[in-house]
Structure 1
């Protein structure tokens, strides 16, 4: 069987002169000389007869019927610094680019910054350089996600990235894999076969890819991964494989993504869009309610009607189902600043709040809130999915308005959210995975939820502002690979990806130069966005851990929550009872003494020392608790719930009131539990900050006159919404809120009271 299989280099005769690398059936005097750099290959002004034609598809590289003398021979010599799998990948890149590996290596060494060619990262940077150049070429085809060989090539790039340098001799497993063939096309050829010299190593299916390799290679295709959410995507794909990505999972994800994009491309021409008046550049992202067994119900007041819900990158559309036909679509704008609110909500028949399966839309353009219910037998995954993707579009337009993005910047910002929704949808369809709060695949949602996520938006806006319409003209001065990093940060990668996939018209940008860098990564460089996400990862873990403790201490029932609150507020309740007792004058002597003491304190100005002394006492107590309880778990609050009540009676008489009060009490309990955790030093880092804050407050209250403090407090609260202070105040409030989210809640243990039955 092996004798009938031909390696990719067996048919190719390596000519001795270098010029013969680009020989294409011409006479010797007409042979085009090897270009000196990649720039000369992709020069937009070069005539077609002077440039080597790129193959239209990867299969055309390996046509078996072609004579050896008609094949452009770019057979590579192994690069000594690279491993066998890295040489295999670069060999395939060489064939796709029609450039010898020696020429690729020379361009890498001469045209990239000095530090990218230094050991020990030389092999890895060279592999990134060749891989990115190849991805720039293969992604020009609108159906590249459908090509199984491209999918395998990108996966092999990740494997080679992890083992790029020469660290050991090839094992028997690698040598044996040189002659294996697991993936073939209809002609019996594959990118992954090798000759007897093991120039291309057949990758074992059991090998897996780690997060770093995926984060470096996957963003080379803007449709496959985004630099902001690439690590969350990897975590979602490897949720069941222990943090290692298998090819079968990766391939299934790309197939699903290709199916989603294909559906989006065909949507405008289907009867689906007949009732929708889509604007230029408006893309249908998803549709729900087309299946009769899974309708979408629109609730307005006490009335409800089934229909079809459509989301585009500008609005939500709902088409009510009439007699066999859909009525005219009603548009709910997400692009204009209409004070829109999107959130999960309870709904039910006749306006009853029974089922947690609805999405609420409210804005100044509608008289009352609109509810879209997604009925399903179990769970609320449909609603949660639509809430996430709708919020992504809403946050994208808020980002555009905040930074006043226009033209290309605006389209690129929307394209980023569009591709993010396609990835989210592909992951959901293929694996039924719903990423958690801080692991979402939607860039703008992540920036809103992630602690410090506004820094990501600031970096993104600065990158978008650096390019404009003239940069899309692809002048010859912009093609040099000396500016690889500069171009990668300036090119509207998501916009280019949508145009190349056929989702936007080609007039959206000038695609005259195929060599223009269309990716967010460059060899040997780290995108500032990726760096910002890495810095916020630690805070994300702490926030998730704190949120887990909050979920654990939430208890059901208004009576139980009130009991927890009473237990947590026991010291304050007793103090309040004492003050009430003194104010009642049931014992005149005690009340009189208390009144004289307070008056004497205020008259002599001693009242200003009350708060400093209290702050110092609290800080000292917290430090003592930190030292005394070091390494010990925080003792749970023991709460005895009250006797149960008639649930039917509560539902009929106080349903609305109880639901609101329960949520309020639950939030107050969480606040108190977090304060308890700080007070007993459950989180030492937070305790240290609170101790320092209390000491500073003590100093301020001690040395600043009270009347001046009152004036400052009034000025601060009164001038908070001034235009000059609004941004600063919002940032401060956000920082405090994010810090608070990272505080864990103290545990709560519900202890049932022992009821002693009396004998008659």
Structure 2
């Protein structure tokens, strides 16, 4: 412990005393650092021929942080890395990653490192070097205010520090940060983001240490993530039944707390638990005056512990971004606890999972604080929210659970690297920032989410999910592009799409009506023979194979060609009054269909209850006869009899008898009485309740 404390003091001094200032003084040009490498007699700043100029500079900075020479770093890498990692084709980048990850593991142990601009510049320069690591890369001798990094470099370096990014949401985070700079991240935006993140962490620490809700939170040591409703201009309204109260809403990493506002103080807080398994439901809700559903600005919370749902309203003049933000962070905490229960996590594993959710919310707050003009969906920056939406998100969560629960991730071994390389856990980073206690950090095994020279299992799962999500987005874009307005236009499109089926139906109807007796007779004979031989299953298989072969041939013949659009004759445009009349006619037709359906059901109910009538006696006799036929006749004979009965009823020999039989069936149906219906109105006292 004494040794660890001494190391920490040295590292804090390394930052606070300005040991990183030389980085800032030369951040616009690396010329002086190149010269120092060339004339260094000790070899501590030795030039490595395999690396590009900027990569040499970054490795030199890493050697200063680790307090070992560049030559020693290279020797350690040669001893610890496997042959595949040291292959000449990717040696430069893998060695650079090795140095960066080792240096970051040390640099993040400094208390308040996010507040140091030198640390922010160092991590950004690591991304710049990652893009041009080898000596054969295009030389980048100047690093100035206009230098930018791409998504690959950011996704590789940033998740090595859990505070800055995580593997699951880092690509979405990069898209948000680089939206104003054309898909490339500049240092000014990155610096603002990290400054905002530092403020968010300090704010959470201050709120969690304050006396706010201290009695209720003391047992679980909850961290306060967000508070709203403290300003009279932005109240939070709680709706329970017909009552509405303004108040203060607080979200912790375990629960929601609502304190109703009185004249000068707040009431005792109501607790809405997010941690226990209470079948909680959180979803957007509509609210309005006197129970009307007009404004989409609320969140509904429902659980087994409540007799009725609670609605939290977040009023604002335009839009519903305030509600969307609260909905996302509430769900993130809820999903994190569901994840913990599903994978039965306890102790430090449980704390690590909760801290991942907390960090995601802090990063979202940093985005809103540092770059408020950026518009983005909150859920894409929160890992548990995102996994709930992504295709294959369950696979990502399963891989994440395996990573967290693994006891061998303190030292990365899958890539052939030894104990010199460490990844950083969320708990260890927050401990160094003063948010969680050091005792908890020391007991926690490190999480190996980043592996030098290869993708971790979590990164592979995320990449697979993102690739599938791109396909889903492309498919959804085609769906959105073919949507048309107007009932008549949609009916015209549907009619055109169903044209092949309607034509097939017309052909079968023509055969069944015996319009061409010869064709109908041949069809009847062929299908009857198939049924007698028991070949119906083979026919069904052949139809499926024919469709599959047709699709396969079409796919190869249309390789690379765009899909042909369906030409639809647009109906004449209708006025508003004509559209209203068409809707009214459609509603009337639907009402008639529902009435007819109810009559059929009431008649069947009367038959089932054996209302005394001649129709009931005939129904009982028909059911007994059908049951005996099904019991004693083979299935193929039954199918054949049904087919011949339906298909030959309109043939010339049977047409006259069919008309007479149809008339008798109609008379039998009309003779069935409908079961009575009694309509009761709701009592007045129930309405009042």
TM-score (norm: length of structure 1): 0.63
Secondary structure of the 2:184 match is coil
Contact 2:97-2:452 at 8 Å conserved across structures: yes
| CA distance 1:131–1:558, shift in 2 (3 Å) | same
1:390 aligns with 2:390: no
Residues 12 and 111 in structure 2, CA contact (< 8 A), matched pair in contact too: no
| SS, match of residue 462 in structure 1 | helix
Q: Within 5 A, what are the aligned runs for 1:201-212?
A: 203-212=143-152
2-structure distance, mates of 1:168, 1:578: 68
Distance of aligned partners of 1:509 and 1:390 in 2 relative to their CA distance in 1, 3 Å threshold: same
Distance 2:387 2:463 in 1: 13
SS at match of 2:359: helix
Q: How do 1:287-686 and structure 2 match up within 5 A?
A: 287-432=227-372, 433-435=374-376, 440-467=380-407, 482-483=418-419, 488=423, 493-510=425-442, 520-554=449-483, 611-612=540-541, 615=544, 618-619=547-548, 622=551, 631-636=561-566, 638=568, 640=571, 644=576
Deviation at 1:378, TM superposition (A): 2.5
Q: Does residue 1:77 correspond to 2:45, yes or no? A: yes
- Paired position in structure 1 for 2:25: none
2:177 is aligned to: 237
Cα deviation for residue 301 of structure 1 reads: 3.3
> How many residue pairs align between the two structures?
559
On the 8 A contact 1:54/1:97 being kept in 2, the answer is: no
In structure 2, runs of 5+ residues without a counterpart are 22-40, 591-633, 637-689
Which residue of structure 1 aligns with residue 639 of structure 2? none
Displacement of 1:266 in angstroms is 0.8
CA distance in 2 between counterparts of 1:134 and 1:217 reads 12
| Cα distance between partner residues in 2 of 1:292 and 1:51 | 45
Contact 2:43 2:71 in 1 (8 A): no
Distance change in 2, residues 1:461/1:604 (3 Å): same
Is the CA contact 2:15–2:110 (under 8 Å) kept in the aligned structure 1? no
- Conserved in 1, the CA contact under 8 Å of 2:403 and 2:447? no
Return closer, same or farther for 1:609/1:443 CA change in 2, 3 Å cut-off. Answer: same
Distance 2:158 2:450 in 1: 10
Shift of 1:78: 2.7
Q: CA deviation at 1:248?
A: 0.7
Provide the rounded CA distance (Å) in 2 between the counterparts of 1:93 and 1:212.
21
Q: Partners of 1:553 and 1:293 in 2: how far apart?
A: 43
CA distance in 2, matches of 1:105, 1:303: 69
Shift of 1:383: 2.1
Query: Greater CA radius of gyration, 1 or 2?
Result: 2
Contact 1:296 1:375 in 2 (8 A): yes
The answer to whether the Cα contact below 8 Å between 1:344 and 1:358 also exists between their aligned partners in 2 is: yes
Structure 2: distance between partners of 1:266 and 1:649: 63
C-alpha change, 1:555 and 1:152, in structure 2 (3 Å) is same
2: CA distance between counterparts of 1:319 and 1:47?
Answer: 44
The Cα of 1:455 is off from its aligned counterpart by 1.6
Q: Which residue of 2 aligns with 1:134?
A: 103
Structure 1 residue 46, shift from structure 2 partner: 6.0
CA drift of 1:328 comes to 2.1
Secondary structure, counterpart of 1:116 in structure 2: coil
Worse-superposed segment, 457-466 or 106-115: 106-115
Name the CA shift for 1:441/1:558 in 2 (closer, same or farther; >3 Å).
same
Q: CA deviation at 1:530?
A: 1.1
Relative to structure 1, the CA distance from residue 622 to residue 304 in structure 2 (aligned partners, 3 Å threshold; closer, same or farther) is farther
Give the Å deviation of 1:611.
4.7
Residue 221, structure 1, aligned to residue 161, structure 2: yes
Question: Which consecutive residues of structure 1, in runs of 5 or more, have no partner in the other structure?
Answer: 1-43, 65-72, 178-202, 475-479, 659-704, 708-760
- Cα distance per residue 1:570-602 (max 9 Å; x no partner): 77789999999999x9x9x9xx99xx9999997
CA apart distance, 1:165 = 2.3
Q: Residues 300, 557 of structure 1: CA spacing in aligned structure 2 closer, same or farther, 3 A cutoff?
A: farther
Instruction: Give the counterpart of 1:57 among 3, 6, 14.
Output: 14
The structural deviation recorded for 1:297 is 2.3
1:78 match: secondary structure: coil
* Separation (CA, whole Å) in 2 of partners of 1:47 and 1:406: 27
8 Å contact from structure 2 (residues 287, 298) kept in 1: yes
Shift of residue 458, structure 1, vs aligned partner:
1.7
User: In structure 1, what is the Cα distance between the partners aligned to 2:236 and 2:267?
Assistant: 14
Measured against aligned partners, the alpha-carbon deviations of 1:140-162 in whole angstroms (never above 9, x if no partner) come to: 12311110111111111111222
Cross-structure match for 1:257: 197
**Equivalent position SS for 1:308:** strand
Equivalent position of 1:95 in the other structure: 64
- In structure 1, distance between residues paired with 2:80 and 2:531: 77
- For residues 25-60 of structure 1, the C-alpha deviation after alignment (integer angstroms, 9 at most, x for no partner) is xxxxxxxxxxxxxxxxxxx78699999954523252
For 2:27, the equivalent position in structure 1 comes to: none
1:719 aligns with none
Q: Give the Cα separation in 2 of the matches to 1:292 and 1:518.
A: 44
RMSD value, Cα: 4.5
Tell me: CA distance 1:573–1:352, structure 2 relative to 1, closer, same or farther (3 Å): farther
Separation of aligned partners in 1, 2:237 and 2:582: 28
Q: Secondary structure at the match of 1:429?
A: helix
State the TM-score, normalizing by the size of structure 2. 0.69
Query: For 2:419, what is the secondary structure of its paired residue?
Result: helix
Contact 1:206 1:246 in 2 (8 A): yes
Q: 1:633 to 1:311 in 2, by over 3 A?
A: same
